[in-house]
Every structure is written in C-alpha cells, then in structure tokens.
C-alpha cells in the first residue's frame, strides 16, 4: 500500500458514503466543500505536477478556505503531465483522449483500483438513475465498436459496463471493421417495431445517429418504435467531417424517423479527465412528473461552474463562459478540471453551448469518427 493510499483511507470512506447516499440526496454544500478541500490537500501533497502548478499560481491548501478557490487543472494538462497521486505500480488502467490516428499528443488519465471502481459506479447505478429510472432493463443497440478495437477510449469501456448493468440481452455492437453496420441496425429496429418492444440506442451523435438518419432519409424509412423507447447520444454536435446536425435538428429527426419524443432523448457528457458522467435530466423529469428545463444534472458529489477565463472568478447563474468541473470521485488525479466547453449554470445543473475556439472535437467522438471513416474508406477503396 502506497503512502497516498494509506493517508487517504478515511477520505475514500467519506467520499464513498457521500456518493452512496444517491443522486436524490439533499445538496450539502458544507460537506462537499470540506471533502473537496481534503482532496485538494492530498493532491497538492502527492500529485507532484499539480502541486507545482498550484505553487506557480501562489495557491496552497493553507491559503484557501472555499472549494471554489481550488485551482482547476486545464484539460490540456493531461496531455503534458502525468497527473496521478499514486505510484506507477498501482496503475491498473489508462484511458486516453483524442483520436486514433496518432496525430497530436493525447491526454492520459491513470487509474488505480479505487479510481476504476468509481468509473464503474458512474456507468452503473448512476447511469441507470438517468437513463432508465422507469424500468429495470431494456434491449440496447450499441452503435460503438467493441472495446478491444479502441481499448483505451473511456466511452467504449463505459458503454459495455452500462450495457451489462441495464441491458436485457447479449451486447451487440454496430460499428465494426466495415464501419457502421447500418443494414443490421435497421433490421433490429424493424424487429423491435414489429414486436412492439421498447428499445434503446446508444452512440455518438454525429458519427452514429447522423449516419443512421441520413440512410433512413435516403431510403424513405420511418419507424414508430414502442412507447418507452429511448436514445442516448454522446460526443456533442461536432460534425467530425459529416454534415453538421444541430441539437434541435437531432431531436426533431429522432422523433420523425424513430418515433421517439424529445423527453426520451438524453445527451450524455463524458470527459476522460472527469470520473462522473453528466446526463440530460429529461427522462428522469418525465418519470417523476417534474416540469424542469433540459440540462445536465448536478450530483451531490459534483459541482460545475462557469468562470471568467482571466480572473477565474465564478460567474452568476445564466452567464456563458468556460466550465470547470469539481468531482470528488477524482481523488486519485485532480478534483477540479477546467474544460474547453463553454456553457452556463442553471438551477439544478448546467448546460453546454459550444467549445472554445481552436479546441478539438470531443476525443471519444473523434475516435469513433476516425474509426468509421477509416473502415469505410478501406471498404470503398
């Protein structure tokens, strides 16, 4: 056992207890703040590159008293630094950001056993709370490659964990060596429609849904999937070389082509650098009869705020700027991550409106795009 692990046993236990209260636990800013500051103290001590970064900014654990003062590590830091608190011997998994082509440096996130268990927590019961609060399981159509194809991409790993937890049949992947298996996907949709069986689709917004919807439109195919069917998309609205589909168009085409209303469409925000995954609150709101605006929901153990890029000060609710995520499940790396996403806080959560100028598309979506287009190019060539 490393010194970091022995020094944080009680902190891990406190975070575990905090998380296990569930997503509906009352928001406790005082306890969250105390735990976040304890995380910062440990990370300042054991995460050498992060500690150096904080010293350059003149910030130490003794100098701050509020969680909002914890210096967020810019996401680009994961490309340049090994941001871990534990020795390399305790690394059990490494996930990487960016594309599959090898062009450009990719960010790396190192996980120990506890960090990997938190990743699984985020993709299991937390995921179910927002994707399937109204049922135990459902057939899932996975519009992603098998994880052995892109083993270091968190989205591929996470989808499999989620499917094992809430899926009702053996996983079937619809992105393979020949790209998106659109004919097989359409066949499964036909069978589900004929059987009157609710079904769920999971995949990157542009790479999977964009291609599926273009094919359905070209062939004049429309489905009326059973009530309760739903779609989960990730990767944002970057086109990745495809025709750009806006969020509004995506929701409209989902209803027109699949018969799935917008309140059963959930956008999933995942960052390799942040353990927790953020989900649209739409299905959960509908299930509980709540009339709330669509947004990414906060958890008791996370906070997301928009900051002034120059002063790093927190901005008022509704003001659009750069987003910072604070996640207690990031104890083994850095608790605060400054993203390239621009958005705003709102009651109960936050929303994203775009990416910083010059920022690359989300790494997972970029990897999926490169995989599909490379496969299809090889097939057509």
Residue 358 pLDDT: 52
**What is the residue-wise DSSP string for 189-255?**
HHHHHHHT--EEEEEEIIIIIIHHHHHHHHHT----PPTT-EEEEESTT--TTSPP--HHHHHHHHH
Name the helix (H) or strand (E) containing 337.
Answer: strand 336-346
**What is the residue-wise DSSP string for 27-92?**
P-HHHHHHHHHHHHHHHHHH-HHHHHHHHHTT--GGG--SGGGSPPEETTHHHHS---SS-GGG--
The total of other beta-carbon atoms located within 10 Å of residue 296's CB is 23
Query: Residue 117 pLDDT more than 90?
Result: yes
Cβ-contact 262, 289 below 8 angstroms: no
Select the more confidently predicted residue: 129 or 354.
Answer: 129
Average pLDDT over every residue of 352-381: 52
Average pLDDT over every residue of 83-94: 97
Could you give the CA distance from residue 367 to residue 349 in angstroms, rounded to a whole number?
28
Could you give the CA distance from residue 60 to residue 346 in angstroms, rounded to a whole number?
30
Average pLDDT over every residue of 143-162: 87
Q: Which of 7-11, 105-109, 278-282 has the lowest mean pLDDT?
A: 105-109
Residue 232 pLDDT: 96
Domains, the chain, in order of start with CATH, read: 119-299+343-380 (3.40.50)
Mean pLDDT of the chain: 89
Q: In this structure, is the dihedral angle defined by the CA atoms of residues 27, 29, 30 and 32, taken in order, positive or negative?
A: positive
203: which strand partners? 233
- Of the pLDDT bands very low, low, confident and very high (cuts 50, 70, 90), residue 155 is confident
Q: Which of 77-91, 170-184, 219-233 has the lowest mean pLDDT?
A: 170-184
Half-sphere exposure of 150 (CA within 13 A, CB side): 32
Average pLDDT over every residue of 246-252: 93
Q: Which of 124-128, 148-152, 170-174 has the lowest mean pLDDT?
A: 170-174
Average pLDDT over every residue of 233-239: 63
pLDDT tens per residue, range 158-216: 988 999 999 987 678 998 777 889 999 999 999 999 999 999 999 988 889 999 999 99
Q: Which of 80-84, 145-149, 245-249 has the lowest mean pLDDT?
A: 145-149
Residue 104 pLDDT: 66
Query: Residue 65 pLDDT more than 60?
Result: yes
Buried b (16+ CB within 10 A) or exposed e, 351-369: bbeebeeeeebbbbbbbbb
């Amino acid at each position: 056992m490393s010194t970091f692990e022995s020094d944080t046993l009680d902190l891990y236990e406190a975070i575990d207890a905090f998380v296990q209260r569930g997503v509906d636990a009352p928001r406790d800013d005082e306890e969250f703040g105390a735990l976040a500051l304890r995380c910062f103290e440990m990370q300042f001590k054991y995460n050498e590159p992060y500690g150096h970064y904080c010293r350059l900014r003149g910030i130490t654990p003794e100098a701050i008293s509020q969680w909002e003062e914890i210096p967020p590590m810019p996401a680009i830091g994961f490309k340049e630094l090994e941001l871990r608190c534990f020795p390399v011997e305790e690394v059990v998994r490494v996930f990487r950001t960016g594309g599959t082509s090898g062009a450009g440096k990719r960010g790396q996130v190192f996980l120990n056993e506890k960090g990997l268990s938190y990743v699984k927590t985020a993709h299991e019961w937390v995921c179910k709370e927002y994707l399937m609060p109204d049922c135990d399981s459902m057939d899932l159509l996975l519009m992603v490659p098998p994880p052995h194809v892109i083993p270091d991409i968190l989205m591929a790993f996470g989808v499999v964990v989620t499917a094992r937890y809430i899926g009702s049949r053996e996983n079937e992947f619809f992105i393979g060596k020949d790209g998106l298996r659109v004919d097989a996907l359409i066949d499964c949709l036909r069978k589900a429609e004929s059987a009157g069986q609710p079904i769920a689709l999971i995949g990157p917004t542009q790479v999977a849904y964009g291609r599926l919807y273009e094919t359905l439109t070209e062939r004049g195919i429309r489905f009326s999937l059973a009530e309760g069917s739903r779609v989960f998309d990730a990767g944002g609205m970057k086109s990745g070389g495809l025709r750009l589909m806006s969020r509004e168009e995506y929701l409209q085409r989902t209803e027109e082509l699949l018969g799935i209303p917008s309140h059963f469409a959930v956008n999933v925000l995942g960052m390799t650098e942040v353990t927790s995954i953020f989900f649209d609150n739409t299905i959960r709101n509908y299930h509980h009869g709540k009339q709330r605006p669509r947004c990414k929901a906060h958890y008791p153990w996370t906070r997301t705020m928009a900051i002034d890029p120059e002063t790093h000060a927190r901005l008022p609710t509704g003001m659009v700027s750069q987003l910072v995520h604070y996640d207690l499940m990031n104890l083994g790396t850095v608790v605060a991550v400054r993203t390239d996403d621009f958005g705003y806080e709102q009651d109960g959560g936050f929303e994203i409106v775009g990416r910083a100028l010059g920022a690359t598309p989300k790494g997972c979506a970029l990897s999926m795009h490169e995989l599909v287009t490379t496969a299809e190019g090889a097939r057509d060539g």
